[in-house]
Structure 1
Amino acid sequence: MNIAFIALLILIVWLPLPFGSNHAWAWALMEVGIFSLALLWLWQYLRGRQTLTPAFYKAIPILVLWVIWLIYISFQLIPLPYSWVQWLSPQAAQVHAFTNPTFTTLSVAPHSTADGLLKSLSYVLLFTLTLLLVNTQTRLRWIAYVLVFSGLFQALYGSFMTLSGVEYGFFHEKVYGLGLATGTFINRNHVAGYLVMCLSVGIGLLIAQLGNGTTADTWRQRIVAVLSWILSPKMRLRLILVFMVIALVMTHSRMGNTAFFASMLIAGTLALIFSRHANRATVILLVSLIVIDIFIVGTWFGLEKVKQRIEETTFATETRDDVDIDSLPYWQDYFLTGSGLGSYYTTFPRYQNSELKQYYDHAHNDYLEFATETGIVGVLLLGLVVLWSLGVVLAAQFRRQNALSRGIAFGATMAITALLIHSTVDFNLQIPANAATFMLILGLGWVARYLPTQTTNISDNEVSLPPTRLAKTVVWSLMIALTYLIPQAASWGVADAIARRVQASMEKWPQQEIALSEWMPIHNATAYALRLAPNNPALLIRMGYIYHWQGIQLSVSPKEKLAAFQHALNAYSKAVKRNPTNTSIWANILLVKQNHLQQNDLQFITAFDFAAKYGPWKLHAQQAIIDVGLATWYQLPSQVKSIVIATIVRGMQSQAALVRKLIKHHRRQWAVCAYAGDQAELSQLCQPIDVQTK
């Protein structure tokens, strides 16, 4: 078996293990793995060890769409003339306006978009590698079984952790989802999404193994048939599917379970309509899956709890619909080109209403998240790719006579349908392991449609015809690009791993006194991480915190304190240029400038505006605006005073005790109430003054 194909199988199993590859270091490993695998395939192609497959040629239109997608995301990153950005995305131009740029990007969070571009490239390459490496029926069966066994591992691991009470994820004790099956993922909904995709492929394999419905005439033949079925691979596969359904139910994921059963019904109905080869055995199998999984497995392993969660779900208790509603004006502001892939977490707080108290890094709706980040252009591109692929797998069920191809096509139909359903209330496609697996299944759908029944594979000792000069030029160009991208992705991953260790160490600082000898290694580690990823705003913020802490807590000279605060301000200023909608950075700029540097300049005024505008309900931003605003009240222009008053009004709804404490500390109650006038929201705060006046 070809080494590239073996590496692909290993990659499939690895992807869900490190928290669904949903940490920067984990998806960097994914990117390095896929880029290296693509590099290996290109090298083998130059040596005549690999060839282009029929599925690859047939999928060229889809590959063109994927290339357009990558170019489009790159376009979000390219500095454009500011006037162009004003025309294409007025809101993005407004975000970048504080730097008075001549050139700027459509993305409001360029580093996050660059990260998203690398992930997108890895997904597209995985899709392409699936078309190129799965070139025989044997390999198609192998890759399907590996997906099923990967799902089985997640099911067994998650179920064991839940039933035993040993709550561990990926070598870490679980913090979230205690008492629920989460596998090695963080979120139960995401392991549910992964299990549904693996179940879909498994059901496809089971359908591929069905016979033509032959009957036994005697009792002896019937007994032999039953025993043969019990000992057959079909029975083992059916038991594997049962284990995965048990784990799916134990996640208590409402939409995960709903998407599974709904997609099975939809895919089954489509199979009966479109497939000319569907027989009674197919119908019996689908009915048995529903009956056994719902009424037997579900009864023992908690389907009633899933049902109860669904019944108790109301608009009053559920906040995801509020997030969707608040995301609509966000999309309206960035309708055409989006705010930049990966920028939702830092842009959404501007549109978040007062009822949503928690932090949302994703939209809990893949459609809206892609719409807000990539605009209508991105949504149309992605929608066209998915719907086209869905049409291909339906055609495979209708036209293919090969049982395995039809079965895999059924599995792909079910997986696509399930993700389309689940994506209405969750963000599975923002989880790298799930997004990559989805792309793999899309590729398998194309393979199922166009893979010849009889294929000849190039062995390790054989060579094909050498590629043309043009092909060699393209291949060498791709190899050079991948050679550059591999260390780039690796360096970002290492930087994230360092940052996580630094963060873990810094979390202990408030509980203990830190000496300079303990502070210095943290500083040096962060500085090294910044050399690896110099444009990472999160690392710049971390460095700002470190210097800020040095100036506040460490016993250093006044000159060293002043230098530390200036270094902190420089780090925050660099970070905010790379992520201008991050309100935490603006809040920290306010605190450093006023409390330590006494700098009342244009950046100081801008910080009030941006902190209030892009995070009106962020508690840290509210605290900084009110604290600094009250401290400098008599030096502030009227428009900034209005910002402070508006923030106090919001703060009285979200953290009234702290707002009262700050007003009392700065002795500004009279000034605030006099400036606020008769605002009803401050009537309770200003009531004592009215009483005393009377």
Structure 2
Amino acid sequence: MTIAGGDRAVDGAQPFGGGTATARLVPRPTAKPTTLRPDSAVHRLNAITAGAILAFLLLTPIPLGSNRPAFWMVWSAVVGCMAFAYGVVLFWLRAQPRFRLGEFAPEIVALLTLCAFIVVQILPLAGWFPDLVQGNNAAGASPRTLSLDPGSSRLVLIQFFTFGLLLFLAIQIAANRRRARRMLTGILVIIAAFAVVGLLSLTQWGDTLLGFEKQIYQGYATGTFINRNSFATFLAVGLTLGAALLVATVAERKGGTIGQLLGRFGLVIGCIIVIAAALLATGSRMGTVAGLAGATTAVVLGVLMFRGIGKAGVISVIVALAIGAVALVGVFGATLVERLVLTPGVDQLRVEAHRIIWSAILERPWFGYGAGSFPTAFQMFQAPPLSPEFVWNNSHSTYLALWFELGLIAGSIPLVIIALLGFRAVRAARDPSSTTTSIAAIGTIVVFAVHSLLDFSAEIEANAFLFTVILALGAAGGVVRRPMHGSS
């Protein structure tokens, strides 16, 4: 306490001598509290991380969709370094993450449970379950583990941890819903760029793959992916994002200037056109069906959720999509129509393979044959009419692959995690700041759910990374955020 006016006084006392001088009490300066660094620092950190994730999504499809174990390890190291750097900077700033782990407790518990189960598969515990490993020697795998291919199981374990870290990072940057919306647009542009590369490779660069002559899928667009179906899923996601952003652009047409509206509309329509053209050029039947299912889901949900779209907006969206679809089918749909005519229905060999896979699942329903073990384990069950000269590296159904490798319970955990994140996206759709990202995430779930019935595109790592980020963008809006989260 300091004294003004030259007299001394104490709290609540009158000045001495009854004079007119009074004492003005000035509070003693307090020490500056040790608070967190300015929120703008975390905002900048998340903005930089968002750019890093977009760059990551741009790079991962280039080396054959990252469908090789070497690339799995490279990208796992990259994501691990990103997460480590993010944590170090937060610690240095003495700041909290925008979303704490507890806010996604169900998903984290499910993921850790799945990883723990894979660890059980690769530990030398087979002696405890002798009946489960009778066929291990015939498969050429170690008889000491429940997994018939423990090396591949370790790789899958690393993959799941990588997906978890990427999901955590993407959720942090999506706390700012404007940034999440911009991320969605950035992803659409990236997919459109790969669509352009795919069309140019097919029509102008001699039908090549990364500059080299194709060994398979000649005459079909594959982009930089290992096969046309995986590329089709990648493009189907882009078509779904484009549909969601198109509806949002029409609904928000009263905001901004005419030039801004035309710019946004032109960008989205342009991306949709090249993506749809490349999707048709893949000749992928299920990929096209999945893309139409996802885009339709996004349009329907957008019309229902955006209050300002109006009848004129709905008609504009439908007319634009219809005209574009007719034109694209006429120009680029010949390969797809050819496959529909010449090879109607599903390949009978694939149907037979699925029957054999399901029978194998029922023989070992609880522990599975080991994460990542399908190419090794399925050889024990392969029988006519499946030719022994042909090795089935994939089950052509992600659902069957999960249950074959992990068992019915553990193999369903990834589906549960996706359902939980999807539920958060549905809940977030009511928030105007989250509607676009929410319907895009829901539509993307539909794409993967449909195509995974008869293909393994979700198992291609570039597609899995893309799916993970979009799920995070949609699910982040479904968490009740604290006030500090709003601007970063």
Classify the TM-score, shorter chain. Answer: 0.7 to 0.9
Q: Give the letter for the 1:4 counterpart.
A: T
Please give the secondary structure, in 2, of the residue aligned with 1:339. coil
Residue of structure 2 aligned with 1:205, choices 245, 258, 261: 245
Please give the secondary structure, in 2, of the residue aligned with 1:8. helix
Name the structure 1 match of 2:271.
240
Q: Give the Cα separation in 2 of the matches to 1:425 and 1:243.
A: 25
Counting only pairs closer than 5 Å after superposition, residues 220-619 of structure 1 correspond to structure 2 as: 228=259, 231-272=262-303, 279-280=310-311, 283-284=314-315, 286-288=317-319, 290-302=321-333, 304-314=334-344, 317-357=347-387, 358-397=390-429, 399-402=430-433, 405-450=434-479, 455=485
Q: Tell me how far 1:274 sits from its aligned partner.
A: 6.1
Q: Contact 1:4–1:40 (CA<8 Å) still a contact in 2? A: no
Q: Tell me how far 1:69 sits from its aligned partner.
A: 1.5
Name the structure 1 match of 2:214.
174
Q: Give the Cα separation in 1 of the matches to 2:428 and 2:465.
A: 22
Q: Give the letter for the 1:186 counterpart.
A: I
Q: Give the letter for the 2:285 counterpart.
A: R
The verdict on how the C-alpha distance between 1:204 and 1:57 changes in structure 2, with shifts beyond 3 A counting, is: farther
Name the structure 1 match of 2:72.
27
Q: Give the letter for the 2:49 counterpart.
A: A
Name the structure 2 match of 1:95.
136
CA offsets, 1:194-251, max 9 Å, x none? 111122223323333233676xxxxxxxxxx9x7488422212211111111111111
Q: Give the letter for the 2:359 counterpart.
A: P
Q: Contact 1:19–1:186 (CA<8 Å) still a contact in 2? A: yes
Name the structure 1 match of 2:40.
none
Q: Tell me how far 1:192 sits from its aligned partner.
A: 0.7
Q: Give the Cα separation in 2 of the matches to 1:6 and 1:278.
A: 31
Q: Contact 2:148–2:373 (CA<8 Å) still a contact in 1? A: yes
Name the structure 2 match of 1:192.
232
Q: Percent identity?
A: 24
The verdict on how the C-alpha distance between 1:117 and 1:289 changes in structure 2, with shifts beyond 3 A counting, is: farther
Q: Give the letter for the 1:367 counterpart.
A: Y
Q: Give the Cα separation in 2 of the matches to 1:46 and 1:174.
A: 49
Q: Give the letter for the 1:62 counterpart.
A: E
Q: Give the letter for the 1:31 counterpart.
A: S
Q: Contact 1:22–1:432 (CA<8 Å) still a contact in 2? A: yes
Name the structure 2 match of 1:47.
92
Q: Give the Cα separation in 2 of the matches to 1:5 and 1:213.
A: 27
Q: Tell me how far 1:316 sits from its aligned partner.
A: 8.3
Q: Contact 2:395–2:401 (CA<8 Å) still a contact in 1? A: yes
Q: Contact 1:148–1:202 (CA<8 Å) still a contact in 2? A: yes
Q: Contact 2:243–2:298 (CA<8 Å) still a contact in 1? A: no
The verdict on how the C-alpha distance between 1:392 and 1:230 changes in structure 2, with shifts beyond 3 A counting, is: closer
Q: Give the Cα separation in 1 of the matches to 2:100 and 2:332.
A: 41
CA offsets, 1:275-330, max 9 Å, x none? 6666436633552354133211111112x431342344346854221211111111
Q: Give the Cα separation in 1 of the matches to 2:292 and 2:262.
A: 27
The verdict on how the C-alpha distance between 1:54 and 1:309 changes in structure 2, with shifts beyond 3 A counting, is: same
Q: Give the Cα separation in 1 of the matches to 2:316 and 2:101.
A: 33
Q: Tell me how far 1:75 sits from its aligned partner.
A: 1.7
Q: Give the Cα separation in 1 of the matches to 2:102 and 2:244.
A: 25
Q: Tell me how far 1:150 sits from its aligned partner.
A: 1.6
Q: Tell me how far 1:126 sits from its aligned partner.
A: 0.8
Q: Give the Cα separation in 1 of the matches to 2:346 and 2:463.
A: 30
Please give the secondary structure, in 1, of the residue aligned with 2:208. coil
The verdict on how the C-alpha distance between 1:93 and 1:377 changes in structure 2, with shifts beyond 3 A counting, is: farther
1:113 matched to 2:143? The reply is no
- Most deviating of 336-345 and 276-285: 276-285
Residue of structure 2 aligned with 1:160, choices 200, 211, 229: 200
Name the structure 1 match of 2:122.
77
Q: Contact 1:192–1:248 (CA<8 Å) still a contact in 2? A: yes
- Most deviating of 114-123 and 68-77: 68-77
The verdict on how the C-alpha distance between 1:12 and 1:98 changes in structure 2, with shifts beyond 3 A counting, is: closer
Please give the secondary structure, in 1, of the residue aligned with 2:206. coil
Please give the secondary structure, in 1, of the residue aligned with 2:61. coil
Q: Tell me how far 1:45 sits from its aligned partner.
A: 2.1
Higher relative contact order (CA 8 A, sep 6+): 2
Using structure 1 for the length normalisation, give the TM-score.
Answer: 0.59
Please give the secondary structure, in 2, of the residue aligned with 1:120. helix
CA offsets, 1:338-376, max 9 Å, x none? 111110011112222222222210000111011100111
The verdict on how the C-alpha distance between 1:427 and 1:99 changes in structure 2, with shifts beyond 3 A counting, is: closer
Question: How many aligned positions are there?
Answer: 440
Name the structure 1 match of 2:105.
60
Using structure 2 for the length normalisation, give the TM-score.
Answer: 0.82
Q: Which runs of 5+ in 2 are unaligned?
A: 1-43
Q: Which runs of 5+ in 1 are unaligned?
A: 215-224, 459-694
Q: Give the letter for the 2:402 counterpart.
A: F
- Most deviating of 377-386 and 15-24: 377-386
- Most deviating of 310-319 and 414-423: 310-319
1:151 matched to 2:191? The reply is yes
Q: Contact 1:55–1:450 (CA<8 Å) still a contact in 2? A: no
Q: Contact 2:353–2:395 (CA<8 Å) still a contact in 1? A: yes
Q: Tell me how far 1:98 sits from its aligned partner.
A: 11
Name the structure 2 match of 1:36.
81
